[in-house]
């Protein structure tokens, strides 16, 4: 987790695409002041802005020795399945050997790797496996309060913008003097926020309970924006999404989709569900616990032009009859309005 | 896992109710030939038939020393949260000390308890923690075959009869010379069947994949009856149920409910969802992967008389328009007919 004194190197070596480097790009976007370099042999010499479209002039280097003063090495990609790529081990052992803190969100814990652990022990280096947890609390469906509004960002797929939308909503609410807290539920969100729960690495019996615990601990805020994970229609990850939906028991949901994406990321032979059907399914599943509606749409329009995005926005607004915006292109004002409207409604019940 | 040479003692000491002793009663029902005694200080002197309504004259004893020839001690209750009750530890250490095999389905692994593990190591005793797993495969949504019919037992709640229904359906199909295999997904089912996957103890990212793996490994059978867990409306366990639903991608579902049960077991302030709504929700959620219908209802009528059960059966048959039977009271012929009808339909597609 980043602290203000840290100087972080982000490891993205071997990332096949920007999508694969989403941890790195998100940390550059939301904790960029702490990042001194990205380590990526195939992109060395570029700036992060050139390579990833974010992070300004932050340099991309080819070796750890290029950044002798860096204190932290953070793994900046999330490979499917969460394993440590074999050709990273030398870099990780080098970093541990020189006493750097290692931060990883992978399912394979770095601290379980004997060589990395030995190097860290010798130098006194700290290994922080963000996904490590021992959650054992069952959800009790009790003590949830209506004076703290719970909003969950849900989506049509993985890696589509649920965390980004949540973080932008926090900024938008904070700008209106609303006391809003980001509930991080994934490794990158936790690295950015400094707390949260890595729900996809919790034993399934305890997922709902782990999420509920995050809610109960934060009800002194006026609004909680809970980071969604995957989608309830995802062939591999629907377990996580369903537990998160019921564990957070949202008053309302913001649905995130990407313009032009047609198939499930990583399971490309499976088509995405159409948004109207997916909205209905989310409302139905959430409603088994508590009535909840999708109150707005966050569109991710990174693949299309400004003009195409504007056309798409109006088309979808008409089709779905909901507030809609690309948080990065259009800001989140419309979505914050929808949240504030819901908050007023819930208060007056 | 029981083998034909084993002589098992089932530990139910402290079980507050029959429901809490469901592992014991199920092993008595489906592997009773291997059970020599139940160890339960509060019920000692009774037979298991007197105490639990199953297992005939199997004696209930107060101490391990009463059954000197027993080879296996199996924990027969499933306490909420899966922890080892403190006052069992002396019994478990005694059993390990005399070289008995210990079988446990608890979330707390016996092999992680230093004293129990030490006693077992000294005597050469084997500890089998049924829930221990290292599932790391993601579901791929590929290679599922339509010539192997997949049926999932789903339900209105936990501890309601999904495993029992699945096992009775296997018996019914086998009696008609259908090659049917039980896919165990919980600790008791695994103890009975000898294989399977403890889905509620799998890390959430890998639940769908762990279930899919069980399916892919068993498609040489004509029919798979997958044991359901909890329910997609359960405040604490919906994560497990949703992953199981999508991981197994059933061609059809059998819905299990209990006559007279109104609230969620263990979360009593939450009312159960009405069956029609729950059927709709299951079909909607399953349908995000593949169209699937609830094709029959298994009623658990243990709380009511024979006559009341008959009235309820006809009332629900009319209300839901589906085949319906209490597997223990009425047999499963009607439900097996529905499965065979669906199998013919899927074949002819």
Indicate which CATH number applies to the domain containing B296.
3.40.50.300
- Residue A82, domain extent: 8-129
Q: Which residue has the tokens 């094709």?
A: B295
Q: Are B313 and B191 part of one and the same domain?
A: yes
Residues B302, B170, single domain; the answer is yes
d(Cα A157, Cα A256) in Å, to the nearest integer? 8
Give the gap in angstroms from C-alpha A84 to the nearest C-alpha of chain B. Answer: 13
pLDDT at A77: 87
d(C-alpha B244, C-alpha B246), whole Å: 6
Q: A104 with A185, same domain? A: no
Query: String of b and e for B228-249 (b: at least 16 CB within 10 Å)?
Result: bbbbbbbbbbbbbbbbbbbbbb
A138: nearest CB among B81, B141, B207: B81
pLDDT digits (tens, 9 = 90+) for B152-169: 999 999 999 999 999 999
Adjacent-strand bridge partners of B183: B226
Co-location of B118 and B186 in the same domain: no
Question: Is B139 inside any structural domain?
Answer: no
Tokens of A188: 């990158």
**pLDDT score at B2:** 47
CA distance between the termini of chain B = 39
pLDDT at residue B248, as a whole number:
98
Is the same domain home to A215 and A298? yes
For residue B85, the domain's CATH number is: 3.40.50.720
Q: Are both B206 and B333 inside the same structural domain?
A: yes
Across residues A172-176, what is the average pLDDT?
98
pLDDT at A16: 65
Select the residue from A112, A239, A288, A290 to test the B interface by mutation, using most B Cβ atoms within 10 A. A239
Does the residue B218 lie in any domain?
yes
With beta carbons less than 8 A apart as the criterion, state whether A75 and A106 touch: yes
State how far the Cα of A330 lies from the Cα of B150, in Å rounded to an integer. Answer: 47
Interface touch B281/A280, C-beta < 8 Å: no
pLDDT tens figures, A181-225:
999 999 999 999 989 999 999 999 999 999 999 999 999 999 999
For residues A92 and A74, the answer to whether their CB atoms sit within 8 Å is no
Residue A278 forms part of a structural domain: yes
Q: Which two tokens stand for residue B258?
A: 């209990």
Residues B156 and B272 in one domain: yes
Rounded Cα distance between B245 and B233, Å, is 13
Q: Does A136 touch chain B (CB under 8 A)?
A: yes
- Any alpha helices (H) in chain B, and if so which ranges? 22-31, 48-52, 89-97, 114-123, 162-175, 187-193, 207-216, 238-248, 275-287, 306-320, 327-330, 333-348
Rounded (5°) CA angle B322-B326-B330: 100
Count how many residues are written for chain A: 349
What percent of chain A shows pLDDT beyond 90?
90
B136:A81 CB<8 A? yes
The reply to whether A108 and A163 lie within a common domain is: no
Q: Quote the minimal CA–CA distance from B59 to chain A in Å.
A: 34
Q: Which residues contact A114 (CB under 8 A, 6 or more apart)?
A: none
CA distance B185 to chain A (A): 13
Do B91 and B169 lie in one domain? The reply is: no
Query: Both A15 and A62 in a single domain?
Result: yes
> What CA–CA distance (Å, rounded) separates A234 from A160?
13
pLDDT over 70 percentage in chain A: 96
Q: Which of B228, B230, B235, B271 to mutate to test the interface with A (most CBs of A within 10 A)?
A: B235
The order of strands in the sheet holding A72-75 is: A60-61, A35-39, A8-11, A72-75, A101-104, A127-129
* List of chain A residues whose C-beta atoms are within 8 Å of the C-beta of residue B134: none
Residue B7 confidence (pLDDT): 95
A140 in a domain, yes or no?
no
Whether residues A113 and A171 share a domain: the answer is no
CA-derived radius of gyration, chain B: 20
Nearest to A223 by CA among A332, A306, A135, A117: A332
What one-character-per-residue DSSP string does B13-68 give? TT--STTTTHHHHHHHHHHGGGEEEEE-GGGTTSBHHHHHS-STT-BEES-GGG-T
- Across the interface, do A239 and B237 touch by the CB < 8 Å criterion? no
Would you place residue A1 in the very low, low, confident or very high pLDDT band (cuts 50, 70, 90)? very low
What's the number of domains chain B is made of? 2
Q: Which residues lie closer than 8 Å to A61 by C-beta, 6 or more apart? A: A9, A37, A38, A39, A40, A44, A67
A1 inside domain: no
What was the pLDDT predicted at B21?
Answer: 84
Tens of pLDDT, residue by residue over A47-77, are 999 999 999 999 999 999 999 999 999 999 8
Residue B69 lies in a domain: yes
Which residue stretches of chain B have pLDDT < 50? Answer: 1-2
Q: Which of B185, B236, B263 is most worth mutating to test chain A (most A CB atoms within 10 A of its CB)?
A: B236
Cβ contact A239–B203 (<8 Å) = no
User: Nearest-5° angle of CA B44, CA B159, CA B149?
Assistant: 125
Residue A157 near residue A272 (C-beta atoms within 8 A): yes
A207-216 and A238-248 helices, crossing angle to 10°: 40
| Candidate from A141, A232, A289 with C-beta closest to B288 | A232
Please say whether the beta carbons of A334 and A296 come within 8 A: yes
What residue in B sits closest to A267 (Cα-Cα)? B140
Q: Which of A107, A142, A205 sits opposite B200 (nearest CB)?
A: A205
Contacts of A135 in chain B (CB under 8 A): none
Q: Is residue A2 part of a domain?
A: no
Cross-chain residue pair B201–A200, CB shorter than 8 Å? no
Residue A62 C-alpha, separation from nearest chain B C-alpha, in angstroms: 32
CB-CB neighbors (< 8 A) of B210 in chain A = none
Report yes or no on A138 lying in a domain. Answer: no
pLDDT tens digits along A255-272: 999 999 999 999 999 999
A343 and A236 together in one domain: yes
Looking at residue B1, what is its pLDDT?
Answer: 44
Q: Above 50 in pLDDT, residue A105? A: yes
Q: How far is B284 from chain A (nearest CA, A)?
A: 7
How would you classify residue A329: left for phi > 0, otherwise alpha for psi between -120 and 50, otherwise beta? alpha
Residue A78, pLDDT score:
75
Check residue B160 and give its pLDDT: 96
Q: Hey, are the CB atoms on B203 and A208 less than 8 Å from each other? A: no
- Tell me which H or E stretch contains A269: strand A267-271
The answer to whether the Cβ–Cβ distance between A81 and B246 falls below 8 Å is no
CB pair distance less than 8 Å for A81 and B138 = yes
């Amino acid at each position: 987790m980043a602290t203000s004194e840290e100087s972080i190197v982000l490891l993205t070596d071997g990332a096949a695409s920007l999508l694969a480097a989403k941890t790195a790009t998100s940390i550059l976007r939301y904790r960029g002041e702490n990042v001194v370099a990205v380590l990526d042999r195939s992109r060395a010499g570029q700036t992060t802005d050139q390579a990833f479209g974010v992070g300004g002039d932050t340099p991309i280097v080819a070796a750890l020795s290029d950044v002798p003063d860096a204190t932290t090495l953070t793994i900046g990609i999330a490979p499917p399945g969460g394993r440590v790529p074999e050709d990273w081990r030398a870099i990780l052992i080098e970093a541990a050997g020189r006493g750097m803190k290692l931060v990883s969100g992978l399912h394979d814990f770095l601290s379980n790797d004997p060589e990395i652990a030995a190097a860290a022990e010798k130098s006194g280096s700290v290994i922080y496996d963000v996904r490590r947890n021992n959650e054992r609390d069952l959800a009790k469906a009790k003590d949830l309060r209506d004076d703290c509004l719970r909003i969950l960002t849900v989506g049509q797929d993985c890696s589509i913008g649920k965390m980004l939308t949540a973080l932008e909503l926090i900024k938008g609410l904070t700008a209106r003097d609303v006391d809003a807290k980001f509930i991080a539920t994934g490794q990158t969100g936790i690295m950015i926020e400094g707390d949260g729960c890595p729900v996809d690495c919790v034993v399934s019996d305890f997922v709902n309970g782990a999420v509920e615990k995050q809610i109960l601990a934060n009800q002194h805020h006026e609004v909680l924006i809970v980071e969604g994970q995957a989608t309830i229609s995802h062939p591999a990850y629907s377990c996580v999404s369903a537990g998160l939906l019921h564990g957070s028991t949202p008053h309302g949901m913001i649905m995130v989709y990407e313009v032009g994406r047609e198939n499930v990321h990583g399971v490309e032979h499976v088509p995405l569900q159409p948004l109207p059907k997916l909205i209905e399914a989310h409302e139905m599943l959430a409603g088994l616990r508590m009535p909840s509606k999708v109150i707005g749409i966050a569109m991710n329009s990174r693949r299309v032009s400004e003009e195409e995005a504007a056309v798409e926005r109006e088309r979808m607004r008409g089709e779905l009859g909901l507030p809609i915006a690309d948080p990065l292109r259009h800001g989140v004002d419309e979505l914050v309005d929808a949240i504030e409207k819901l908050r007023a409604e819930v208060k007056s019940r």
